[in-house]
Amino acid sequence: MSLPQIVDSHCHLDFSDFDAERADVIARAVDAGVTRMVTICTRLRLEPQVRKIAEDFAPVFYAAGTHPMSAADEPMATLDELIALTAHPKMVGIGESGLDYHYTAETAQVQKQSLRVHIQAAQETGLPLIIHNRASDDDMIDILSVAHKEKPFACVMHCFSSSAELARVAIDLGFYLSMSGIAAFPKSQELRDIFASAPVDRILVETDSPYLAPPPHRGRRNEPAYTAHTAKIGAEVFGLSYEDFAAQTSANFDRLFAKAAGWSS
């Protein structure tokens, strides 16, 4: 009997944590029913390495952008640069970009500048924007709302663990919320309640591996195969079977990441 197919919508397969066994990690994911993965480039100068992983492994797609925590250390991304990258058939998203005032509040202004460039790229290309947000809800609500009113764009709030207000605004804008291993932690009931209040057709699942491993792997290196552990909690949150939740979140992924859905080798 085949396993339900599911998608890890956000991982970091280029990180050194996977250097010794990258092919095995991807094979284990496929064996666990994770038939597609989106690996995220967080520094544009590393895009060639991230792209090569997507080229070498059929189940892997990629996105590229400048992570907000790196925005002050990296050259400012340009609109033309981001648009040019989207010519690759397996480049399916813009980001991750966003705001992080927990660790890097002192670079808030450059983070905002970088975010606006990434938003423009999503607006111009039609590819979804992948948002990182931490301790910056008010500014994030303002920037996304204003930009979306100027010209609509698609977006996922990656590894969502923010406020109910930001969740509501994101859903009202037509965006998606992505459930990571944080939602599976025992003390995350408030976060699970926020997810439960959202429409199930706006939910994705992800690992953010090598970070945030869900139970029973918490505290160890995360990997895409563990998407299933988070998805099982997600199924409980929405009162669905694992099979139905896997099918729903996969359909949601196809709707948002239409370029990945339409790709054929």
* 158 annotated ligand binder: yes
* 208 annotated ligand binder: yes
Q: With CA atoms as reference, report the closest residue to 242 among 230, 227, 254, 231.
A: 231
**Sequence letter at residue 264:** S
Q: With CA atoms as reference, report the closest residue to 128 among 253, 264, 265, 250.
A: 253
Please spell the DSSP secondary structure of 157-187, one letter per residue.
ETT--S-HHHHHHHHHTT-EEEE-GGGGSTT
Question: Phi/psi of residue 221, each to 5°?
Answer: -65, 130
Task: Report the C-alpha gap between 166 and 155 in whole angstroms.
Answer: 13
* 217 annotated ligand binder: no
Determine which helix (DSSP H) or strand (DSSP E) holds 92, and give its type and residue range: strand 91-100
- Tokens at 256, concatenated: 């948002």
* 148 annotated ligand binder: no
DSSP state of 64: E
Task: Report the C-alpha gap between 153 and 129 in whole angstroms.
Answer: 8
Binding residues for a divalent metal cation: 10, 12, 96, 132, 158, 208
- The binding site consists of 10, 12, 96, 132, 158, 208
